[in-house]
Structure 1
Amino acid sequence: MLVKILICVALIFYQSVYSAKILGLSPSVSKSHTFLAQALFKKLAERGHELTMVSSYPLKNPPANFRNIPMGDVKNKIFELSGYTTNQQLLNFNKGHFTRIKKMYDFGYGQARLGLEDPQVQTLIHSNETFDLVICTVFMNEAFFSLADHYKVPLIGFGVFGANEWTNNLVGNPNPYAIVPDLFLSYTEHMTFSERLVNTIVSIASGLWHNYVHLPRQEKLRQQFLPHTKPIWETLKDVSLVFLSSHPSLTDPRALVPNMIEIGGFHVDAPKSLPNDLQKTLDDAKDGVIYFSMGTNVVGKDLPESHRKALLDAFSKLKQTVLWKWEDDKLPGQPKNVKISKWYPQADLLAHPNIKLFITHGGLLSTTEAISRGVPLIGIPVFADQSLNMAKAQTSGYGIMVDYYNVTFESMNWALNEVLNNPKYTENVKLRSKVLNDRLVPPIEEAAYWVEYVLRHKGAPHLQSARKDLNIFQYLLLDILGFILMVVISICLLIYFVARKVANFFRKKGNHSRNEKKKQ
C-alpha cells in the first residue's frame, strides 16, 4: 500500500515539474484545421499543462486548465473580402495555376491581418502574460509565429496537411518535385513526364511567390503588430519541430528530417455512443447505410439544382439508407431512403459496421476518418487539397473521384454501384486502416511526447537540419555548379588561346621557312 502511495506521489510530482504554460494558436479560418489543433491542445491539457487556445472556434466543454480566447468571425470576413462565399466561387479558386497561387496567398495575407487585428489577440499581446511554448498551425500565417519571439519561447508548427512547401521550408525538409506533387494538383507521387513538367513549373512559381511576395507581406504585418520582435525570416529558422497531419497510409511516403513528425489520425478517438435515434437508424438498416457530407466549407444545400437532382435520383435507386449532412430544414425531392441532418458525429458514425460508403468532398480530415474506420469513398472534390487526396484514394483502390462538373445521374449511379458491389474498395480501405492503426504508440501520445521533449530540451536545437540555413541556390549546389562551370570554361578558353598561340607560332614559322626557300 505504501509503495502505491509513493508511486502516486512521484507521478504527481513528475507531472507538476513538467507542467508548462502553452499558447496554442489556430488563426486558420478553416473549422477542420482548428478541430485538429484542438485535439492536440486538449490532450496536452489532460496531461496537466496549462493551455491557452486562440481561435475563431472555441473548444466546447474544455478542461479546467484549458482557456479559450475566442477571436471574431475571421472566416466570414475573409471569405467576403476574398469573394469565396459560395461553392461556385470556391471552385473558381482552383482555376488557373498561377492565378490560384496569387489568390491563395492573398487569402493567407488577409487571414493573418484580420487575426492580428482581432481585439482579443491584441489584448493578449499587450498583456504581461508569459508562456513556456507556442504551438501554431501552419497555414499562410507566418506573422503569428513571431509571438514565439514575443514570449522568448520555443515554437512548434502544426501542419494541417502532409509535408508541403509551407512546412518543409521551416525545418529544411527535402521537397523533390519529381515525386512530391503540389498541394493543389490532383497528382500522386507516380507522375508522367507532362505531370512532372507541370508540377515543377507550378512548384517553382509557388515557391518564388511564397519567398519573394508572401513572406515580405507577412514581415510587414509583423512590423505593424509585433515591431519589437526579430525579422520573420529569423523566426522561421527557429522553429523547433513541425507536426504533420499525415501518415504513409494516408499520403505518399516522404523523407523527413528528425524534427518533422507525422501524427496523421491522432484526432480519431475510440468511437463513442451515438444518439439513440441515429443508433436505431443505423442498426435497423439491414442493407447498410451511405453517409454523405461535403465538410464545413462546402455547403451541401448550395449545390446546384442539377447536382442535387442527379444525386437524389441516384440515391432513390439504392436499397441502402442515405444519411445526408444537409444544412437546411427541408430537402426538395427527398426520397424515402434519404435522411437529413444539419450535423452528424462523423468519426463515431463511420465506426458503425453498417456504414458501407462515405461520399465526401475529399478533405484530409474526412479521408483520414474514413480510412481509420475502414470505409471506402466516393469523392467530389471542390478546392484546395481535395483533388490530391481523392487522386490518392483512386490510385490506391479505396475510392472513386467524381469531377464536380460531371455530377450527373449516370456518373453517380455508376460510382455508387461500382464501390458498393466491387469488394476490392472495402478490402483495400480495410488494409489501409490496419496500416494507419498499427503504430508503436497512439499518435496522440507520440505528439504529446514530442511537445514535452521540446520543452525538456529547451527547443531541441540538436534536431535542426542545416538545410534550413541554405538558400535554394546553395541547396541545389547551383553556386558550386556555377563555379565548376566557370573553371571548366576558363580551362577550355585557356587551352583554346594556348592552342591558338601555338598554332599561330608554327604557322608563322612555316611561313618564314617558305619565304626563306623562295629567296634562295
Structure 2
Amino acid sequence: MKSIILAFTLSIALVHTANALNILGIFPYHGTSHFLVFRVYLLGLVNKGHNVTVISHFPEKNPPPNYHSISLAGTLEILKDDMPIEKSYKTIFNTGLFLTSTGKENCEVMLKNKKVRDLVHSKAKFDVIVVEQFNSDCAFGIAYKLNAPVVGMMSHILMPWHYRRLGIPYNTAYVPFHFLEGGSKPTLYQRIERVIFDVYFRTLYYFVTQRSDQNTLAQYYDDIPPLEDLAREMKFLLVYHNFVLTGSRLFPPNVIEVGGYHVARAKSLAGALKTFIEGAKHGVVYISFGSVINPTSLSPEKVQAIMDVMSQLPQRFIWKWNNKTLAVAHDKLYTGNWLPQIDILGHPNTLAFFSHAGMGGTTEAIHYGVPMVAMPVLGDQPANGAAIEESGLGVQVQIKDLNKDNLLAAFRKVLDPKFREGVKQISKAWHDRPMRPLDTAIYWTEYAARHRNFTFRAAAADTPLYQHFYLDIMGVLFISLYVITKVFSLLLSLCKSKPTVKTVKANDKKTSKKSKRE
C-alpha cells in the first residue's frame, strides 16, 4: 500500500514539474506602488510551480526556491512619498518629462547590469517573458534577444501610446484620458485638453523615450528592430481594469482585464489600532494619499479644513500621516507613517475612505465595499476619480475645491446608509467573475507560452493610418466626384454648343438666299 501511495505521489510531482514554465519578469521601473501589485502576480506564478526570474529594484528578502532575483536595487532612489499635492497644467507637463527621464534611466540602469547582460549572452531559455508596460519599451529588446513570447502587464489604466499599438479605439468623447478629468463624459473644454495632451505625451514617447531606448540598446546589441514593432508583437496585455469600476471599453481579445488581483485577505488588527477602530461607536473613516504623494505638503488651510470636518462628524478618523504635528484628541484621530491599509479597509467598522484615487487603493476599496471620497492629483488618479464617481463607488472633491463645506458634504453623502448599501452591491458585482483575477492573469500567461507561434493582435493594430482615417476611400470618392463633375460639365457645354451651330447654319442660308435675290 505504501509503495502505491509513493508511486502516485511521484507521478503527481513529475506531472507538476513537466508543466512548470521558465518565466522571466522584467520590471525596471523603481516605483514602489507599481511593484507591490506585480509582486502578488509573480508569487502567484511561483505558487503554481513555475520557475520565475525577476529583474527589478525590489528583490525578495526570503524568496521561495523557484523565485530568482536579478537585483537593480541601489542604482536609483526608490520613488516614495516625494510627490507634492499639487494639480495644474504645469504638473501634467512635468509628468510627461518625468516619464521620459525615468524611462531613459530605467533602460540604462537595466542594460548596465552585468547579470542582465549575462542572461542575454547565455541565451537563457524562457517559455514566456512578462514585461511592465509603463514608461519604456526597453524590455522588448531583451525579450527579442531571448526569443520568447511576451506578455505585457500594467498596474493602472492604459497610457496614451498603448491604444494604437493594440488596435484599441480611442475617441476623446468617451474614452477616459490617463492624466485628465472628465471620465467617459467630458465637456468640450476637456475634450480639447485631451487632444492637446494626447499629442504631447505621444510625441514625447515616440520621439524622445523610444529613440533614447533604441540608442541605448544599440550600444549593446546591433540587431534590435524598432521597439514599436516589437511592442506590437506582444501576445497579451494584462491591464489593471475591471468594467465594474472602469466601465465598458472596446478592448480586443488580447487585452485582458485582471484588475484587483493584488488585494489580499484582510487580517485581524492588533494593539492600539485594533482598540481604536473597534472602540468607534459610529465607525471610522480612513485617510491615505498613497505611497507616492506626501500628505504633509497639503497647505495649512486645507489641513485645517480636514480637521474641521473631523470635528463635525461623529466618526473616528485614521490618517496615514508622516509626522505627529496634528493636534487632535487621541480618541478622535489615529495617525501613523505606515498603516495596514487592506486590514483597515477590510474591517467592518470602516465606513469610508478619503483617498487620492490611486488604482491600488481604489481596487482595495471596491473589493471590501468601502465608499470613497476621491481627491485625485496626478497620473491616472483623475481618470480613476471619474471612474469612482461614474461607477457609484464614491464622489470626487477636486483639490482646488477642498474646503470644509465641500468635504463635509462629500462625507455625508458617502456615509449615508443608502449610499453605502449601493457600494456593497457594486462590490458584489466586482467579485462576480468566472475566475479570480489572479487566476485569470496566470492563465493567460501560461496560454501565451503554450501557443507562442500564434498572433493574437487585433487587425486594427496593423491598419495603416490612411486606412484608419478613411483617407484612401475619401480620396477615391473625391476623385470620382471630380471626374463625374467634369464629365457632366463637358456634356453640358456640348449640349449648349449644338443649337449655336444650327443657328449659324440657318443664318448662313438666309444670307445666301438674300444675296441671290439681289
* Structure 1 length-normalised TM: 0.89
Task: Say if 2:56 is the partner of 1:55.
Answer: yes
Structure 1: distance between partners of 2:361 and 2:72:
25
Once the two structures are superposed, the pairs formed by residues 457-472 of structure 1 within 5 Å of their partners are 457-458=451-452, 460-461=454-455, 463-472=456-465
Please name the residue that 1:342 is paired with: 337
Displacement, 1:76?
4.4
Matched AA of 1:35: L
Q: 1:428 aligned to 2:422?
A: yes
Match of 1:494 among 487, 502, 508: 487
The one-letter code sitting in structure 1 at the alignment partner of 2:71 is P
Note closer, same or farther for the CA distance 1:335–1:391 as it changes in structure 2 (3 Å cut): farther
Q: What amino acid is the match of 2:493?
A: R
The offset of 1:416, in angstroms, is: 2.2
TM-superposed CA distance for 1:86, in Å, is 4.3
1:294 aligned to 278, 289, 300, which one? 289
Give the whole-Å Cα distance in 2 for the aligned partners of 1:510 and 1:424. 90
Residue by residue, what CA displacement relative to the aligned partner does 1:109-145 show, whole Å, maximum 9, x if unpaired? 2112211222685213320441412211111211222
Give the stretch that moved more between structures: 143-152 or 217-226. Answer: 217-226
| Cα deviations by residue, 1:279-336 (Å, 9 ceiling, x for unpaired) | 33222222211111001111112222222222122213332221111122x1232333
Q: Larger C-alpha radius of gyration, 1 or 2?
A: 2
Task: Tell me which of 424, 439, 442 is aligned to 2:436.
Answer: 442
- The answer to whether 1:87 aligns with 2:80 is no
| Match of residue 516 from structure 2 | none
1:400 aligned to which of 395, 403, 409: 395
- Residue by residue over 1:170-226, the C-alpha shift from the partner in whole angstroms, topping out at 9 and shown as x without a partner, is 332333433212212212223455544554554456445544555334433333454
**Hey, what's the Cα distance between the residues in 1 that align with 2:164 and 2:15?**
35
| Kept after mapping to 2: 8 A contact 1:375/1:429 | yes
Is 1:111 matched with 2:107? no
CA distance in 2, matches of 1:460, 1:411: 54
Kindly indicate whether residue 122 of structure 2 is the aligned counterpart of residue 122 of structure 1.
Answer: no
Residue aligned with 1:257, SS: coil
Range that drifts further, 168-177 or 230-239: 168-177
Tell which deviates more after alignment, 5-14 or 440-449. 5-14
**What is the distance in 1 between the residues matched to 2:221 and 2:366?**
42
For residues 174 and 504 of structure 1, the distance between their equivalents in structure 2, rounded to whole angstroms, comes to: 54
**Tell me, what secondary structure is at the counterpart of 2:423?**
helix
Q: Distance in 2 between matches of 1:119 and 1:164?
A: 22
Comparing 409-418 with 132-141, greater Cα deviation is found at 409-418
When residues 477 and 316 of structure 1 are mapped into structure 2, their CA distance, relative to the original with a 3 A threshold, is: same
Identify if the C-alpha distance between structure 1 residues 502 and 289 changes in structure 2 by more than 3 Å, giving closer, same or farther.
same
User: 8 Å contact 1:24–1:52 — kept in the other structure?
Assistant: yes
Match of 1:14 in 2: 15
Shift of 1:46: 1.4
- Per the alignment, residue 304 of structure 1 pairs with 299
Q: Secondary structure at the match of 1:239?
A: coil
One-letter amino acid of the structure 2 residue matched with residue 431 of structure 1: Q
Instruction: Give 1:395 shift.
Output: 3.0
Q: 2:264 aligns with which of 245, 249, 269?
A: 269
Matched with 2:320 is 325
SS of 2:113's equivalent in the other structure is helix
1:430 is aligned with what amino acid?
Answer: K
Deviation at 1:235, TM superposition (A): 0.8
Distance of 1:225 and 1:372 partners within structure 2: 45
Which 5+ residue runs of structure 1 have no aligned equivalent? none
In the TM superposition, residue 239 of structure 1 has moved relative to its aligned partner by 0.5
Question: What percentage of aligned pairs have identical amino acids?
Answer: 26
* Higher deviation after alignment, 115-124 or 251-260: 115-124
* TM norm structure 2: 0.89
Structural RMSD (CA): 2.8
Q: Which moved more, 1:201-210 or 1:109-118?
A: 201-210
Supply the distance in 2 between the matched residues of 1:223 and 1:376 (Cα, whole angstroms): 50
Higher mean C-alpha deviation, range 103-112 or range 437-446: 103-112
Q: Is the 8 A contact 1:378 1:415 kept in 2?
A: yes
Shift of 1:238: 1.2
SS state at 2:238 partner: strand
- From the superposition, tell whether residues 298 and 356 of structure 1 become closer, same or farther in structure 2 (CA, over 3 Å): same
Once the two structures are TM-superposed, the CA of residue 508 in structure 1 deviates from its matched residue by: 4.4
- Give unmatched runs, 5+ long, in structure 2: 514-518
Give secondary structure in 2 for the equivalent of 1:230.
coil
Q: Helix, strand or coil for the counterpart of 1:431?
A: helix
Q: Structure 2 vs 1, CA of residues 283 and 454 (structure 1 numbering), >3 Å: closer, same or farther?
A: same
Change (3 A) 1:511 1:7: farther
The reply to whether residue 31 of structure 1 matches residue 32 of structure 2 is: yes
Q: In the aligned structure 2, how far is the partner of 1:208 from the partner of 1:493? A: 42
Q: CA deviation at 1:364?
A: 1.1
Q: Is the 8 A contact 2:107 2:136 kept in 1?
A: no
Q: 1:514 to 1:230 in 2, by over 3 A?
A: same
- CA distance in 2 between partners of 1:234 and 1:10 (Å): 43
Is 226-235 or 374-383 further displaced after alignment? 226-235
Q: Which moved more, 1:335-344 or 1:117-126?
A: 117-126
Quick one: which of 210, 228, 248 aligns to 1:253?
Answer: 248
Q: Which has the higher contact order (CA 8 A, sep 6+)?
A: 2
CA distance in 1 between partners of 2:299 and 2:254 (Å)? 45
What whole-Å deviation, never above 9, does each CA across 1:254-277 have from its counterpart, x for those lacking one? 122111110011111222233343
Cα 1:18–1:481 shift into 2, 3 Å: farther
